[in-house]
A and B are shown apart, each in its own frame.
Chain A
Amino acid sequence: MRPAIRLQGLTKLYGATLGVEGLNLEVATGEVFGFLGPNGAGKTTTIRLLMDLLRPTAGTLSVLGLDPRRDGVELRRRVGYLPGELALYEDLTAEELLRYFGALRGGASPFVRSLAERLDLDLTRRIGSLSQGNKRKVGLVAAMMHDPELLILDEPTAGLDPLVQAEFHRLIEELRARGRTVFLSSHNLPEVERVCDRVGVIRKGRLAAIEDVGELHARALREIEIHFAGPVPAERFSRLPGVREAVAEGDLLRLRVEGSLDLVIKEAAAHTVVNVSTREPGLEEIFLAFYGKADRDAA
Protein backbone atom coordinates (compact mmCIF):
# COMPACT_ATOMS: atom_id res chain seq x y z
CA MET A 1 0.00 0.00 0.00
CA ARG A 2 1.25 3.49 -0.74
CA PRO A 3 2.24 5.51 2.29
CA ALA A 4 -0.13 8.18 3.58
CA ILE A 5 2.76 10.58 4.03
CA ARG A 6 6.17 10.49 2.42
CA LEU A 7 8.88 13.05 3.03
CA GLN A 8 12.14 12.91 1.12
CA GLY A 9 14.93 15.23 2.09
CA LEU A 10 12.35 17.77 3.22
CA THR A 11 14.07 21.00 4.19
CA LYS A 12 12.67 24.35 5.20
CA LEU A 13 14.85 27.34 5.89
CA TYR A 14 13.48 30.65 7.11
CA GLY A 15 16.02 32.99 5.68
CA ALA A 16 19.16 31.76 7.35
CA THR A 17 17.48 30.07 10.29
CA LEU A 18 16.69 26.41 10.13
CA GLY A 19 13.14 25.14 10.24
CA VAL A 20 13.67 21.49 9.40
CA GLU A 21 16.44 19.79 7.48
CA GLY A 22 16.59 16.63 5.44
CA LEU A 23 13.52 14.92 6.84
CA ASN A 24 12.97 11.43 5.43
CA LEU A 25 9.84 9.79 6.67
CA GLU A 26 7.11 7.44 5.57
CA VAL A 27 3.86 7.06 7.44
CA ALA A 28 1.85 4.03 6.36
CA THR A 29 -1.85 4.19 5.63
CA GLY A 30 -3.71 3.13 8.75
CA GLU A 31 -0.88 4.06 11.06
CA VAL A 32 -1.05 6.37 14.07
CA PHE A 33 2.23 8.23 13.98
CA GLY A 34 3.51 10.44 16.76
CA PHE A 35 5.84 13.32 16.11
CA LEU A 36 7.67 13.97 19.31
CA GLY A 37 9.97 16.82 20.17
CA PRO A 38 10.44 19.86 22.37
CA ASN A 39 8.91 23.20 21.40
CA GLY A 40 10.77 24.80 18.54
CA ALA A 41 12.16 21.51 17.25
CA GLY A 42 10.32 21.76 13.93
CA LYS A 43 7.10 19.86 14.57
CA THR A 44 4.81 22.70 13.56
CA THR A 45 7.00 23.59 10.58
CA THR A 46 6.72 20.02 9.30
CA ILE A 47 2.97 19.95 9.78
CA ARG A 48 2.46 23.30 8.05
CA LEU A 49 4.54 22.03 5.14
CA LEU A 50 2.19 19.03 4.91
CA MET A 51 -0.78 21.40 4.84
CA ASP A 52 0.72 23.60 2.09
CA LEU A 53 0.82 26.60 4.42
CA LEU A 54 4.60 26.66 4.01
CA ARG A 55 6.56 25.76 0.91
CA PRO A 56 9.67 23.60 1.19
CA THR A 57 13.12 25.01 0.48
CA ALA A 58 14.25 21.62 -0.78
CA GLY A 59 13.09 18.04 -0.89
CA THR A 60 9.75 16.55 -1.81
CA LEU A 61 6.65 15.59 0.07
CA SER A 62 3.57 13.68 -0.87
CA VAL A 63 0.42 13.34 1.21
CA LEU A 64 -2.18 10.72 0.29
CA GLY A 65 -0.23 10.37 -2.92
CA LEU A 66 -0.82 14.07 -3.74
CA ASP A 67 1.47 17.05 -4.01
CA PRO A 68 0.24 19.57 -1.40
CA ARG A 69 1.24 22.45 -3.61
CA ARG A 70 -0.39 21.26 -6.81
CA ASP A 71 -3.38 19.35 -5.46
CA GLY A 72 -3.95 21.32 -2.28
CA VAL A 73 -7.71 21.60 -2.62
CA GLU A 74 -8.24 17.90 -3.33
CA LEU A 75 -5.85 17.04 -0.52
CA ARG A 76 -7.58 19.21 2.05
CA ARG A 77 -10.90 17.64 1.11
CA ARG A 78 -9.51 14.35 2.42
CA VAL A 79 -7.48 15.67 5.36
CA GLY A 80 -8.47 17.06 8.72
CA TYR A 81 -6.10 19.54 10.37
CA LEU A 82 -5.80 21.02 13.82
CA PRO A 83 -3.33 23.94 13.99
CA GLY A 84 -0.98 24.13 16.94
CA GLU A 85 -1.71 27.78 17.55
CA LEU A 86 -5.41 27.65 17.11
CA ALA A 87 -7.13 30.93 16.25
CA LEU A 88 -10.86 30.74 15.68
CA TYR A 89 -13.53 33.28 14.78
CA GLU A 90 -14.27 34.50 18.28
CA ASP A 91 -17.56 36.20 17.45
CA LEU A 92 -19.16 33.03 16.08
CA THR A 93 -20.65 30.25 18.13
CA ALA A 94 -19.01 26.86 17.73
CA GLU A 95 -22.07 25.73 15.81
CA GLU A 96 -21.83 28.65 13.37
CA LEU A 97 -18.14 28.07 12.78
CA LEU A 98 -18.66 24.38 12.12
CA ARG A 99 -21.58 25.13 9.81
CA TYR A 100 -19.39 27.60 7.91
CA PHE A 101 -16.59 25.08 7.48
CA GLY A 102 -19.15 22.43 6.63
CA ALA A 103 -20.43 24.69 3.84
CA LEU A 104 -16.88 25.16 2.55
CA ARG A 105 -16.64 21.38 2.49
CA GLY A 106 -19.76 21.20 0.42
CA GLY A 107 -22.51 20.32 2.82
CA ALA A 108 -23.70 19.09 6.16
CA SER A 109 -21.36 17.21 8.45
CA PRO A 110 -23.22 14.40 10.19
CA PHE A 111 -20.49 13.83 12.77
CA VAL A 112 -20.54 17.26 14.39
CA ARG A 113 -23.17 16.47 17.03
CA SER A 114 -21.75 13.14 18.13
CA LEU A 115 -18.20 14.51 18.24
CA ALA A 116 -19.28 17.52 20.29
CA GLU A 117 -21.18 15.25 22.65
CA ARG A 118 -18.25 12.92 23.15
CA LEU A 119 -15.83 15.77 23.77
CA ASP A 120 -18.36 17.49 26.01
CA LEU A 121 -18.47 20.68 23.96
CA ASP A 122 -21.34 23.16 24.14
CA LEU A 123 -21.93 24.19 20.53
CA THR A 124 -24.19 27.11 21.34
CA ARG A 125 -21.67 29.31 23.12
CA ARG A 126 -19.70 32.09 21.50
CA ILE A 127 -16.16 30.89 20.84
CA GLY A 128 -14.75 34.03 22.40
CA SER A 129 -16.25 33.06 25.73
CA LEU A 130 -14.77 29.54 25.72
CA SER A 131 -11.74 28.38 27.69
CA GLN A 132 -8.57 27.35 25.86
CA GLY A 133 -9.48 23.71 26.30
CA ASN A 134 -12.94 24.20 24.86
CA LYS A 135 -11.54 26.14 21.90
CA ARG A 136 -9.26 23.19 21.28
CA LYS A 137 -12.32 20.95 21.21
CA VAL A 138 -13.91 23.17 18.55
CA GLY A 139 -10.73 22.77 16.50
CA LEU A 140 -10.79 19.00 17.00
CA VAL A 141 -14.40 18.76 15.85
CA ALA A 142 -13.58 20.91 12.82
CA ALA A 143 -10.68 18.60 11.98
CA MET A 144 -12.68 15.40 12.41
CA MET A 145 -16.21 16.28 11.32
CA HIS A 146 -15.83 15.11 7.71
CA ASP A 147 -14.31 11.77 8.73
CA PRO A 148 -11.04 12.44 6.89
CA GLU A 149 -8.73 9.73 5.59
CA LEU A 150 -5.82 11.46 7.25
CA LEU A 151 -5.84 13.52 10.43
CA ILE A 152 -2.99 15.92 11.02
CA LEU A 153 -3.06 17.22 14.57
CA ASP A 154 -0.59 19.68 16.05
CA GLU A 155 -0.55 19.23 19.83
CA PRO A 156 -4.14 17.95 19.94
CA THR A 157 -4.54 17.60 23.68
CA ALA A 158 -2.78 20.76 24.87
CA GLY A 159 -5.09 22.35 27.43
CA LEU A 160 -7.64 19.50 27.51
CA ASP A 161 -8.59 18.11 30.89
CA PRO A 162 -7.69 14.43 31.54
CA LEU A 163 -11.19 13.07 31.01
CA VAL A 164 -11.48 14.70 27.63
CA GLN A 165 -7.96 13.58 26.77
CA ALA A 166 -9.01 10.02 27.49
CA GLU A 167 -12.05 10.41 25.24
CA PHE A 168 -9.82 11.84 22.54
CA HIS A 169 -7.55 8.82 22.84
CA ARG A 170 -10.56 6.55 22.40
CA LEU A 171 -11.52 8.50 19.27
CA ILE A 172 -8.05 7.93 17.86
CA GLU A 173 -8.34 4.23 18.69
CA GLU A 174 -11.58 4.05 16.73
CA LEU A 175 -10.03 5.81 13.77
CA ARG A 176 -7.18 3.35 13.81
CA ALA A 177 -9.64 0.46 13.91
CA ARG A 178 -11.33 1.90 10.81
CA GLY A 179 -8.04 2.18 8.95
CA ARG A 180 -7.67 5.96 9.17
CA THR A 181 -4.23 7.48 9.36
CA VAL A 182 -3.29 9.90 12.12
CA PHE A 183 -0.21 12.09 12.28
CA LEU A 184 -0.01 13.92 15.58
CA SER A 185 2.65 16.02 17.19
CA SER A 186 3.19 16.14 20.88
CA HIS A 187 5.71 16.89 23.54
CA ASN A 188 3.85 14.62 25.89
CA LEU A 189 5.50 11.21 25.98
CA PRO A 190 2.79 9.27 27.84
CA GLU A 191 0.23 10.41 25.30
CA VAL A 192 2.36 9.34 22.37
CA GLU A 193 3.08 6.02 24.03
CA ARG A 194 -0.56 5.48 24.57
CA VAL A 195 -2.02 6.19 21.16
CA CYS A 196 0.78 5.86 18.61
CA ASP A 197 2.20 2.89 16.75
CA ARG A 198 5.45 4.60 15.85
CA VAL A 199 7.17 7.74 16.92
CA GLY A 200 9.47 10.11 15.11
CA VAL A 201 11.70 12.08 17.45
CA ILE A 202 12.63 15.49 16.11
CA ARG A 203 15.18 17.79 17.61
CA LYS A 204 16.68 21.00 16.25
CA GLY A 205 15.02 20.43 12.89
CA ARG A 206 16.37 16.97 12.33
CA LEU A 207 14.71 13.62 12.70
CA ALA A 208 16.77 11.96 15.42
CA ALA A 209 15.04 8.61 15.33
CA ILE A 210 11.95 6.77 14.21
CA GLU A 211 11.01 4.03 16.60
CA ASP A 212 8.23 1.71 17.53
CA VAL A 213 6.65 2.99 20.69
CA GLY A 214 7.74 -0.08 22.62
CA GLU A 215 11.31 0.40 21.50
CA LEU A 216 11.25 4.01 22.58
CA HIS A 217 10.26 3.05 26.06
CA ALA A 218 12.80 0.26 26.24
CA ARG A 219 15.57 2.66 25.29
CA ALA A 220 14.58 5.35 27.72
CA LEU A 221 16.79 6.22 30.67
CA ARG A 222 15.10 5.70 34.00
CA GLU A 223 16.24 7.11 37.27
CA ILE A 224 16.02 4.80 40.23
CA GLU A 225 16.89 5.37 43.87
CA ILE A 226 17.40 2.42 46.18
CA HIS A 227 17.59 2.94 49.90
CA PHE A 228 19.43 0.03 51.52
CA ALA A 229 19.70 -0.94 55.18
CA GLY A 230 23.44 -0.33 54.97
CA PRO A 231 26.08 0.92 52.52
CA VAL A 232 26.31 -1.01 49.26
CA PRO A 233 29.20 -0.48 46.83
CA ALA A 234 28.14 1.22 43.64
CA GLU A 235 30.48 -0.94 41.56
CA ARG A 236 28.22 -3.94 42.00
CA PHE A 237 25.62 -2.04 39.98
CA SER A 238 27.70 -0.02 37.58
CA ARG A 239 29.03 -3.19 35.94
CA LEU A 240 25.50 -4.40 35.11
CA PRO A 241 24.49 -4.08 31.44
CA GLY A 242 22.21 -1.11 30.89
CA VAL A 243 23.38 0.83 33.94
CA ARG A 244 24.75 4.12 32.72
CA GLU A 245 25.49 5.73 36.05
CA ALA A 246 25.64 4.53 39.63
CA VAL A 247 26.37 6.78 42.61
CA ALA A 248 26.35 5.64 46.21
CA GLU A 249 25.79 8.14 49.04
CA GLY A 250 25.83 6.28 52.29
CA ASP A 251 22.85 3.95 52.31
CA LEU A 252 21.41 5.55 49.21
CA LEU A 253 22.18 4.41 45.67
CA ARG A 254 21.25 6.52 42.66
CA LEU A 255 21.16 4.86 39.26
CA ARG A 256 20.42 5.78 35.69
CA VAL A 257 19.38 2.72 33.74
CA GLU A 258 18.65 2.26 30.07
CA GLY A 259 15.85 -0.14 29.26
CA SER A 260 14.79 -2.90 31.60
CA LEU A 261 15.31 -2.67 35.34
CA ASP A 262 15.33 -6.43 35.73
CA LEU A 263 19.03 -6.95 36.45
CA VAL A 264 19.18 -3.99 38.82
CA ILE A 265 16.26 -5.30 40.84
CA LYS A 266 17.78 -8.76 40.99
CA GLU A 267 21.11 -7.40 42.18
CA ALA A 268 19.40 -5.20 44.74
CA ALA A 269 17.52 -8.21 46.05
CA ALA A 270 20.82 -9.62 47.32
CA HIS A 271 20.84 -6.80 49.90
CA THR A 272 18.31 -5.53 52.39
CA VAL A 273 16.19 -2.93 50.65
CA VAL A 274 14.35 -0.28 52.68
CA ASN A 275 12.77 1.62 49.81
CA VAL A 276 12.83 1.93 46.01
CA SER A 277 11.67 4.92 44.04
CA THR A 278 11.72 5.32 40.29
CA ARG A 279 10.88 8.16 38.03
CA GLU A 280 9.19 7.66 34.65
CA PRO A 281 11.42 8.89 31.89
CA GLY A 282 10.48 12.28 30.53
CA LEU A 283 11.14 13.50 27.07
CA GLU A 284 14.57 14.78 28.05
CA GLU A 285 15.64 11.35 29.24
CA ILE A 286 14.44 9.84 25.98
CA PHE A 287 16.48 12.35 24.06
CA LEU A 288 19.45 11.65 26.24
CA ALA A 289 19.14 8.00 25.35
CA PHE A 290 19.08 8.84 21.64
CA TYR A 291 21.78 11.43 21.62
CA GLY A 292 23.89 9.48 24.05
CA LYS A 293 23.79 6.64 21.57
CA ALA A 294 24.44 8.90 18.65
CA ASP A 295 27.55 10.20 20.40
CA ARG A 296 28.79 6.69 21.06
CA ASP A 297 28.23 5.76 17.44
CA ALA A 298 30.21 8.74 16.33
CA ALA A 299 33.09 7.99 18.71
Chain B
Amino acid sequence: MLRSIFAKTLRDRRRGLLWWGAGVVLLVAWTVGFYPSIRGSAGEYSRILEQMPEALRELFLAQGADLSSPRGYLSIELFSFMVPILFLVYGIGFGARTVAGEEQEGSLDLLLSNPVSRRRVLAEKLAAMLAALAILGGVLWVGLAAGSAIVDLDVPLSDLGSAAVSVVLLGWAFGAIALALGAATGRRALAVGITSALAVGSYLLNGVAAAVEALDPFRVASPFYWYFGGDPLANGLSLPHAGLLIALLGAAVLPGLAAFDRRDLAT
Protein backbone atom coordinates (compact mmCIF):
# COMPACT_ATOMS: atom_id res chain seq x y z
CA MET B 1 0.00 0.00 0.00
CA LEU B 2 3.01 2.28 0.12
CA ARG B 3 4.37 1.91 -3.34
CA SER B 4 3.19 5.18 -4.84
CA ILE B 5 1.74 8.53 -3.86
CA PHE B 6 -1.57 7.33 -5.31
CA ALA B 7 -1.60 4.21 -3.13
CA LYS B 8 -0.42 6.11 -0.05
CA THR B 9 -3.13 8.73 -0.51
CA LEU B 10 -5.85 6.10 -0.77
CA ARG B 11 -4.40 4.22 2.17
CA ASP B 12 -4.54 7.37 4.30
CA ARG B 13 -8.25 7.64 3.56
CA ARG B 14 -9.14 3.98 3.90
CA ARG B 15 -10.87 4.29 7.25
CA GLY B 16 -12.79 7.37 6.17
CA LEU B 17 -13.82 5.69 2.96
CA LEU B 18 -15.10 2.72 4.93
CA TRP B 19 -17.29 4.96 7.09
CA TRP B 20 -18.58 6.96 4.15
CA GLY B 21 -19.34 3.73 2.32
CA ALA B 22 -21.24 2.51 5.38
CA GLY B 23 -23.11 5.81 5.43
CA VAL B 24 -24.12 5.47 1.80
CA VAL B 25 -25.31 1.91 2.38
CA LEU B 26 -27.32 2.95 5.43
CA LEU B 27 -28.90 5.85 3.59
CA VAL B 28 -29.85 3.63 0.66
CA ALA B 29 -31.17 0.88 2.93
CA TRP B 30 -33.19 3.35 4.98
CA THR B 31 -34.67 5.09 1.95
CA VAL B 32 -35.36 2.02 -0.14
CA GLY B 33 -36.67 0.21 2.92
CA PHE B 34 -39.41 2.79 3.30
CA TYR B 35 -40.52 2.47 -0.28
CA PRO B 36 -42.99 -0.42 0.19
CA SER B 37 -44.93 1.49 2.84
CA ILE B 38 -45.06 4.58 0.65
CA ARG B 39 -45.93 2.72 -2.53
CA GLY B 40 -49.35 1.87 -1.11
CA SER B 41 -50.23 5.45 -0.27
CA ALA B 42 -48.31 7.15 -3.04
CA GLY B 43 -51.40 8.94 -4.27
CA GLU B 44 -51.75 10.72 -0.94
CA TYR B 45 -48.14 11.89 -0.99
CA SER B 46 -48.52 13.14 -4.51
CA ARG B 47 -51.57 15.17 -3.48
CA ILE B 48 -49.60 16.75 -0.64
CA LEU B 49 -46.88 17.60 -3.09
CA GLU B 50 -49.32 19.12 -5.48
CA GLN B 51 -50.66 21.36 -2.74
CA MET B 52 -47.21 22.83 -2.19
CA PRO B 53 -46.57 26.10 -3.99
CA GLU B 54 -45.13 25.45 -7.40
CA ALA B 55 -41.94 27.41 -6.68
CA LEU B 56 -41.21 25.50 -3.49
CA ARG B 57 -41.78 22.21 -5.20
CA GLU B 58 -39.45 23.12 -8.00
CA LEU B 59 -36.82 24.36 -5.64
CA PHE B 60 -36.63 21.37 -3.37
CA LEU B 61 -37.65 18.51 -5.51
CA ALA B 62 -36.52 16.99 -8.71
CA GLN B 63 -38.30 18.16 -11.79
CA GLY B 64 -41.49 16.48 -12.65
CA ALA B 65 -40.72 13.71 -10.24
CA ASP B 66 -43.57 11.52 -9.33
CA LEU B 67 -43.28 10.09 -5.85
CA SER B 68 -45.47 7.16 -6.71
CA SER B 69 -43.05 5.74 -9.26
CA PRO B 70 -39.85 4.02 -8.07
CA ARG B 71 -37.74 6.36 -10.21
CA GLY B 72 -39.50 9.43 -8.89
CA TYR B 73 -39.14 8.17 -5.35
CA LEU B 74 -35.38 7.58 -5.72
CA SER B 75 -34.94 10.92 -7.48
CA ILE B 76 -36.66 12.86 -4.74
CA GLU B 77 -35.49 10.94 -1.73
CA LEU B 78 -31.90 10.21 -2.74
CA PHE B 79 -30.60 11.95 -5.82
CA SER B 80 -32.07 15.40 -5.42
CA PHE B 81 -30.31 16.12 -2.14
CA MET B 82 -28.86 13.53 0.21
CA VAL B 83 -26.67 11.52 -2.15
CA PRO B 84 -25.11 14.50 -3.94
CA ILE B 85 -24.48 16.12 -0.54
CA LEU B 86 -22.62 13.02 0.62
CA PHE B 87 -20.51 12.88 -2.53
CA LEU B 88 -19.84 16.61 -2.52
CA VAL B 89 -18.80 16.76 1.12
CA TYR B 90 -16.59 13.74 0.69
CA GLY B 91 -15.03 14.94 -2.57
CA ILE B 92 -14.46 18.51 -1.38
CA GLY B 93 -12.99 17.35 1.91
CA PHE B 94 -10.68 14.89 0.17
CA GLY B 95 -9.64 17.38 -2.50
CA ALA B 96 -8.85 20.18 -0.08
CA ARG B 97 -7.04 17.97 2.34
CA THR B 98 -4.87 15.98 0.03
CA VAL B 99 -2.57 18.75 -1.20
CA ALA B 100 -3.25 21.86 0.91
CA GLY B 101 -3.76 19.74 4.03
CA GLU B 102 -0.45 17.96 3.54
CA GLU B 103 1.25 21.28 2.92
CA GLN B 104 -0.21 22.78 6.10
CA GLU B 105 0.80 19.75 8.11
CA GLY B 106 4.31 20.27 6.78
CA SER B 107 4.98 16.84 5.32
CA LEU B 108 4.86 18.09 1.73
CA ASP B 109 8.42 19.37 2.16
CA LEU B 110 9.63 15.88 2.87
CA LEU B 111 7.51 14.25 0.17
CA LEU B 112 9.01 16.68 -2.34
CA SER B 113 12.54 15.85 -1.24
CA ASN B 114 12.04 12.66 -3.24
CA PRO B 115 12.59 12.57 -6.99
CA VAL B 116 8.97 13.34 -7.85
CA SER B 117 7.72 16.46 -9.55
CA ARG B 118 4.98 18.64 -8.14
CA ARG B 119 2.91 17.74 -11.19
CA ARG B 120 3.19 14.08 -10.34
CA VAL B 121 2.27 14.68 -6.71
CA LEU B 122 -0.84 16.54 -7.76
CA ALA B 123 -1.75 14.06 -10.51
CA GLU B 124 -1.47 11.03 -8.23
CA LYS B 125 -3.41 12.70 -5.44
CA LEU B 126 -6.10 13.72 -7.92
CA ALA B 127 -6.24 10.16 -9.21
CA ALA B 128 -6.62 8.89 -5.64
CA MET B 129 -9.52 11.27 -5.02
CA LEU B 130 -11.22 10.22 -8.25
CA ALA B 131 -10.73 6.58 -7.35
CA ALA B 132 -12.16 7.05 -3.86
CA LEU B 133 -15.28 8.75 -5.24
CA ALA B 134 -15.62 6.01 -7.86
CA ILE B 135 -15.45 3.40 -5.10
CA LEU B 136 -18.12 5.29 -3.18
CA GLY B 137 -20.19 5.37 -6.39
CA GLY B 138 -19.73 1.63 -6.77
CA VAL B 139 -20.97 1.13 -3.22
CA LEU B 140 -23.99 3.29 -4.00
CA TRP B 141 -24.75 1.30 -7.13
CA VAL B 142 -24.41 -2.07 -5.41
CA GLY B 143 -26.53 -0.82 -2.51
CA LEU B 144 -29.24 0.42 -4.85
CA ALA B 145 -29.12 -2.80 -6.86
CA ALA B 146 -29.46 -4.93 -3.75
CA GLY B 147 -32.21 -2.75 -2.30
CA SER B 148 -34.07 -2.66 -5.56
CA ALA B 149 -33.97 -6.45 -5.78
CA ILE B 150 -35.23 -6.84 -2.21
CA VAL B 151 -38.20 -4.46 -2.39
CA ASP B 152 -38.78 -5.00 -6.08
CA LEU B 153 -38.19 -1.45 -7.30
CA ASP B 154 -38.11 -2.53 -10.88
CA VAL B 155 -35.50 0.00 -12.03
CA PRO B 156 -32.92 -1.52 -14.39
CA LEU B 157 -29.37 -1.83 -13.08
CA SER B 158 -28.15 0.25 -15.99
CA ASP B 159 -30.34 3.20 -14.94
CA LEU B 160 -29.21 2.90 -11.33
CA GLY B 161 -25.68 2.81 -12.70
CA SER B 162 -26.24 5.95 -14.77
CA ALA B 163 -27.45 7.82 -11.71
CA ALA B 164 -24.49 6.57 -9.68
CA VAL B 165 -22.02 7.58 -12.39
CA SER B 166 -23.69 10.96 -12.58
CA VAL B 167 -23.26 11.65 -8.87
CA VAL B 168 -19.65 10.42 -9.04
CA LEU B 169 -19.00 12.92 -11.82
CA LEU B 170 -20.52 15.69 -9.72
CA GLY B 171 -18.25 14.74 -6.82
CA TRP B 172 -15.25 14.60 -9.16
CA ALA B 173 -15.88 18.08 -10.51
CA PHE B 174 -16.21 19.78 -7.11
CA GLY B 175 -13.53 17.63 -5.52
CA ALA B 176 -11.20 18.73 -8.31
CA ILE B 177 -12.09 22.38 -7.71
CA ALA B 178 -11.26 22.00 -4.01
CA LEU B 179 -8.03 20.18 -4.82
CA ALA B 180 -7.01 22.80 -7.36
CA LEU B 181 -7.82 25.71 -5.05
CA GLY B 182 -5.90 24.02 -2.25
CA ALA B 183 -2.94 23.38 -4.52
CA ALA B 184 -2.98 26.94 -5.82
CA THR B 185 -3.25 28.59 -2.40
CA GLY B 186 -1.95 26.06 0.10
CA ARG B 187 -4.96 26.82 2.27
CA ARG B 188 -7.28 23.99 3.04
CA ALA B 189 -10.04 25.94 4.79
CA LEU B 190 -10.18 28.44 1.95
CA ALA B 191 -10.45 25.63 -0.59
CA VAL B 192 -13.29 24.00 1.35
CA GLY B 193 -15.09 27.31 1.84
CA ILE B 194 -14.98 28.56 -1.71
CA THR B 195 -15.80 25.19 -3.23
CA SER B 196 -18.73 24.63 -0.87
CA ALA B 197 -20.05 28.08 -1.70
CA LEU B 198 -19.80 27.25 -5.40
CA ALA B 199 -21.65 23.97 -4.84
CA VAL B 200 -24.44 25.64 -2.86
CA GLY B 201 -24.69 28.37 -5.49
CA SER B 202 -24.89 25.77 -8.22
CA TYR B 203 -27.60 23.88 -6.32
CA LEU B 204 -29.65 27.01 -5.76
CA LEU B 205 -29.22 28.20 -9.33
CA ASN B 206 -30.53 24.88 -10.60
CA GLY B 207 -33.51 24.93 -8.24
CA VAL B 208 -34.41 28.62 -8.49
CA ALA B 209 -33.95 28.74 -12.24
CA ALA B 210 -36.36 25.86 -12.59
CA ALA B 211 -38.96 27.81 -10.63
CA VAL B 212 -38.37 31.34 -11.90
CA GLU B 213 -38.95 31.65 -15.57
CA ALA B 214 -36.66 34.63 -16.06
CA LEU B 215 -33.75 32.61 -14.72
CA ASP B 216 -34.49 29.52 -16.71
CA PRO B 217 -31.89 30.17 -19.43
CA PHE B 218 -29.19 30.20 -16.76
CA ARG B 219 -30.11 26.82 -15.42
CA VAL B 220 -28.00 25.07 -18.01
CA ALA B 221 -24.97 26.80 -16.49
CA SER B 222 -25.40 24.95 -13.20
CA PRO B 223 -23.27 21.83 -12.62
CA PHE B 224 -26.22 20.54 -10.61
CA TYR B 225 -28.27 20.66 -13.76
CA TRP B 226 -25.56 18.74 -15.60
CA TYR B 227 -25.69 16.24 -12.80
CA PHE B 228 -29.41 15.42 -12.75
CA GLY B 229 -31.15 17.76 -15.18
CA GLY B 230 -31.20 15.05 -17.80
CA ASP B 231 -32.74 12.59 -15.31
CA PRO B 232 -30.18 9.79 -15.76
CA LEU B 233 -32.36 7.50 -13.67
CA ALA B 234 -34.94 7.53 -16.46
CA ASN B 235 -32.95 8.47 -19.54
CA GLY B 236 -29.49 7.05 -18.89
CA LEU B 237 -26.37 9.14 -18.70
CA SER B 238 -26.45 12.29 -20.80
CA LEU B 239 -23.12 12.40 -22.52
CA PRO B 240 -23.07 16.17 -23.03
CA HIS B 241 -23.83 16.69 -19.34
CA ALA B 242 -21.20 14.14 -18.30
CA GLY B 243 -18.77 15.85 -20.66
CA LEU B 244 -19.48 19.22 -19.07
CA LEU B 245 -18.75 17.85 -15.58
CA ILE B 246 -15.48 16.34 -16.83
CA ALA B 247 -14.64 19.62 -18.55
CA LEU B 248 -15.26 21.45 -15.27
CA LEU B 249 -12.85 19.04 -13.58
CA GLY B 250 -10.22 19.77 -16.21
CA ALA B 251 -10.84 23.50 -16.14
CA ALA B 252 -10.20 23.48 -12.40
CA VAL B 253 -7.20 21.18 -12.35
CA LEU B 254 -5.11 22.69 -15.14
CA PRO B 255 -4.76 26.22 -13.69
CA GLY B 256 -4.45 24.69 -10.21
CA LEU B 257 -1.56 22.60 -11.44
CA ALA B 258 0.11 25.57 -13.10
CA ALA B 259 -0.20 27.68 -9.94
CA PHE B 260 1.03 24.83 -7.73
CA ASP B 261 4.02 24.32 -9.99
CA ARG B 262 4.96 27.98 -9.89
CA ARG B 263 4.51 29.07 -6.32
CA ASP B 264 6.49 28.88 -3.10
CA LEU B 265 5.48 26.11 -0.75
CA ALA B 266 4.81 26.98 2.87
CA THR B 267 6.77 25.39 5.68
Contacts and interface: CB of A to CB of B under 8 A. Distances in A.
Interface residues on B, range: 20 to 34
Given A48-B267, A54-B265, A55-B262, A72 B110 contact: no
Contact of B115 (A76, A83, A99): A76
B113 A103 contact: no
Contacts of B267: 44, 48, 83-85
A77 B267 CA distance: 21
A90 to B, nearest CB: 9
Interface stretch (B3-11, B59-67, B172-180): B3-11
Interface in B27-49: none
B2 A87 contact: no
A103 B115 contact: no
B140 to A, nearest CB: 28
B113 to A, nearest CB: 4
B112 A87 contact: no
B154 interface: no
Contacts of A33: none
Q: Which of A73, A79, A87, A96 has the most CB of B within 10 A?
A: A87
Interface in A33-78: 44, 48, 51-55, 72-74, 76-77
A100 B113 CA distance: 13
Contacts of B213: none
A83 B113 contact: yes
Given A44-B267, A55-B264, A103 B110 contact: no
Interface in B78-136: 105-107, 109-110, 112-117
Given A77-B115, A104-B5, A105-B115, A86 B110 contact: yes
Contacts of A77: 115
Contacts of B264: 14, 53-55
A81 B267 CA distance: 14
A127 to B, nearest CB: 10
Interface of A: 14, 44, 48, 51-55, 72-74, 76-77, 79-81, 83-89, 91-92, 96, 99-101, 103-106, 139, 142-143
13 contacts: A51-B109, A51-B113, A53-B109, A54-B264, A55-B262, A73-B116, A74-B115, A76-B113, A76-B115, A76-B116, A83-B109, A85-B106, A86-B110
Q: What 6 A-B pairs are tightest by C-beta distance, nearest first?
A: A87-B106, A81-B113, A77-B115, A100-B2, A104-B114, A76-B115
